[in-house]
């Protein structure tokens, strides 16, 4: 049953957000971005379960998940931009040719902004 995974994903999203904060404190900005991507991915999968009453597909593509659950139309331009901004932080940061480019874009200010946005998303899900 897909609902078994929901509390796990919410708990892990909370854990991932705390991990992102720990990485920010140690200036490991690449991992801040990666963990923030993980938070949003898990929350979108929770939303998928509530929308579709089934297990979401195995994917890390945030834009694809928002499309599958019909969330694109409800997202603001700023939220859609944030989803696009997070995308390379999951997959591309794992490859040497992209890592340096991504690391240059991630500084304390940007990483802190990611975490703040994640907190508001996670708090919204916990209230639901």
Residue 13 to residues 31, 36, 104, Cα–Cα distance (Å): 14, 9, 26
Mean pLDDT for back-to-back runs of 10 residues, the chain (128 residues) = 81 93 93 90 92 91 92 81 81 65 80 79 53
User: How high is the pLDDT of residue 85?
Assistant: 84
User: How high is the pLDDT of residue 104?
Assistant: 76
CATH code of the region 3-127: 1.20.120.330
User: How high is the pLDDT of residue 95?
Assistant: 64
- Domain layout of the chain by residue ranges: 3-127
User: How high is the pLDDT of residue 93?
Assistant: 54
pTM: 0.82
């Amino acid at each position: 049953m897909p609902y078994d995974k929901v509390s796990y994903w919410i708990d892990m999203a909370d854990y991932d957000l705390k991990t992102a904060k720990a990485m920010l404190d140690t200036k490991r900005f690449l991992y801040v971005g990666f963990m923030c991507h993980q938070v949003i991915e898990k929350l979108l999968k929770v939303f998928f379960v509530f929308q579709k009453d089934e297990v979401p597909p195995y994917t890390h593509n945030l834009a694809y998940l928002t499309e599958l659950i019909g969330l694109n139309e409800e997202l603001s331009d700023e939220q859609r931009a944030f989803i696009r901004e997070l995308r390379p932080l999951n997959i591309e940061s794992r490859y040497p040719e992209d890592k340096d480019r991504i690391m240059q874009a991630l500084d304390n200010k940007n990483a802190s902004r990611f975490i703040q946005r994640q907190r508001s998303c996670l708090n919204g899900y916990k209230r639901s």
